[in-house]
């Protein structure tokens, strides 16, 4: 039962084929980093235009790699939200129309559910119920996961998402886009103890998070250190990265304690961060599951996998093509 997955919610065009018996059969990704780099962030119109150029060639390439034809596909999953409206519409129109032409069902997938389920594509699978920390460019959430489709948000960011904070601090330090990997690379040579940065909201009860104060503290530090030498830039990057990891660590420990959960999934682009992975793996009182490194950031495989489960549950989309640029994860409860 091979399901095609299509991801176009932001600046990566991802296409993959998932089969229950064989796992991920083939996957392909086209990154738009070079297109958005000169602008220091994602330009939505340019993102949509590039998804249109890339989808058909990517589809052909995964079919070739899998030694399959279109007729072998039994279902199509595409990211229906949340994300950039135009970019979502490209993937949804492509996926829904292809499904109609092939007379097979299609399903619109919630992008964050895709991220959340990505660790299931690894060998050691999480056991329900578990706690999830979703950390991407647009989301920072602590989620109670009862089963596929049953999600309760326990904590959320009040302002910036973690990935967004990485991207903004990277800009302050004159680094490229996307900022997360750039900060991480610079931080390797830095000393995380050099600068004392805040661990926001950790002295208050509750599981909500906030990163704007930390961002402001880094901005001040950068201004005071101007002109910035390489050593200081690396120390700021390391101190900032450590402040983020500590803050997430403190809140997640609290959530594990309150919910008495013993398993944790960490997913979304920031889950690729080495410092975060190391600290969570070694210092948390829980079994921690991460996606494989290449499945942390946006990809078609996680959408194929999540869509496969939705289709297996009997859900399909009607012919009218619908996207949901804003789509709360908890709203998925209604579908089950």
* Residue ranges binding ligand KG4 (CB under 6 A): 10, 115, 136-138, 163, 166-167, 178-181, 184, 268-270, 272-273, 297-298
**Among Zn ion, ligand KG4, none, what binds residue 163 when CB lies within 5 to 8 Å by partner kind?**
ligand KG4
Contact track, Zn ion, 134-173, x by CB under 5 A = --x-------------------------------------
At CA 272, angle to CA 243 and CA 175, rounded to 5? 65
Q: Give dist(CA 138, CA 111) in Å, integer.
A: 11
Half-sphere exposure of 158 (CA within 13 A, CB side): 11
Q: How far is the CB of 278 from ligand KG4 (least distance, A)?
A: 12
β-bridge pairing 287-289 and 23-31: unpaired
Contact track, Zn ion, 295-314, x by CB under 5 A = ---x----------------
By C-beta, is 142 or 270 nearer to ligand KG4?
A: 270
Tell me the number of residues near Zn ion by CB under 5 A: 2
Q: How far is the CB of 103 from ligand KG4 (least distance, A)?
A: 32
Q: How far is the CB of 275 from ligand KG4 (least distance, A)?
A: 8
Q: How far is the CB of 55 from ligand KG4 (least distance, A)?
A: 18
Per DSSP, 175 falls in state -
Q: How far is the CB of 199 from ligand KG4 (least distance, A)?
A: 17
Q: How far is the CB of 104 from ligand KG4 (least distance, A)?
A: 27
Query: Burial letters for 89-128: b for 16+ Cβ neighbours within 10 Å, e otherwise?
Result: bbbbbbbbebbeebebbbbbbbbbbbbbbbbbbeeeebee
Pairs from 214-223 (Cβ < 8 Å, separation ≥ 24):
214/165, 214/240, 214/243, 214/244, 214/247, 215/160, 215/165, 215/168, 215/169, 218/169, 218/172, 219/172, 221/195, 221/197, 222/172, 222/173
Contact track, Zn ion, 102-141, x by CB under 5 A = ----------------------------------x-----
**Among Zn ion, ligand KG4, none, what binds residue 181 when CB lies within 5 to 8 Å by partner kind?**
ligand KG4
123, 111 contact by CB (below 8 A): no
By C-beta, is 63 or 183 nearer to ligand KG4?
A: 183
Give the interface with Zn ion as residue ranges (CB under 5 A): 136, 298
């Amino acid at each position: 039962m091979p399901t095609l997955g299509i991801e176009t919610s932001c600046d990566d065009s991802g296409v993959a084929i998932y089969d229950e018996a064989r796992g991920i059969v083939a996957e392909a990704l086209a990154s738009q980093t070079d297109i958005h780099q000169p602008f220091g962030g994602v330009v939505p119109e340019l993102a949509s235009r590039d998804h249109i150029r890339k989808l058909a060639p990517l589809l052909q390439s995964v079919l070739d790699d899998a030694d399959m034809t279109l007729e072998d596909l039994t279902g199509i999953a595409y990211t229906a939200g949340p994300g950039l409206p135009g970019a979502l519409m490209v993937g949804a129109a492509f996926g829904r129309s292809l499904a109609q032409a092939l007379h097979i069902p299609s399903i619109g997938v919630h992008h964050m559910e895709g991220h959340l389920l990505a660790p299931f594509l690894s060998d050691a699978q999480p056991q329900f119920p578990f706690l999830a920390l979703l950390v991407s460019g647009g989301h920072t959430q602590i989620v109670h996961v009862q089963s596929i489709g049953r999600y309760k948000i326990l904590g959320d960011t009040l302002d910036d998402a973690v990935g967004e904070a990485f991207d903004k601090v990277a800009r302050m330090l004159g680094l490229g886009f996307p900022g997360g990997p750039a900060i991480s690379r610079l931080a390797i040579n830095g000393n995380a103890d050099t600068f004392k940065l805040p661990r926001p909201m950790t002295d208050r009860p509750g599981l909500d998070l906030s990163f704007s104060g930390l961002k402001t503290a880094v901005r001040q530090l950068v201004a005071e250190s101007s002109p910035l030498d390489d050593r200081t830039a690396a120390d700021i990057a390391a101190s900032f990265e450590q402040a983020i990891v500590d803050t997430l660590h403190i809140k997640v420990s609290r959530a594990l304690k309150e919910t008495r959960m013993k398993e944790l999934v960490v997913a979304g682009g920031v889950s690729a961060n080495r410092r975060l992975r190391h600290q969570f793996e070694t210092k948390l009182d829980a079994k921690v599951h991460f996606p494989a490194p290449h499945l942390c950031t946006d990809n078609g495989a996680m959408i194929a996998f999540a869509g496969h489960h939705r289709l297996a549950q009997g859900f399909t989309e009607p012919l009218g093509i619908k996207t949901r640029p804003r789509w709360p994860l908890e709203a998925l409860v209604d579908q089950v």
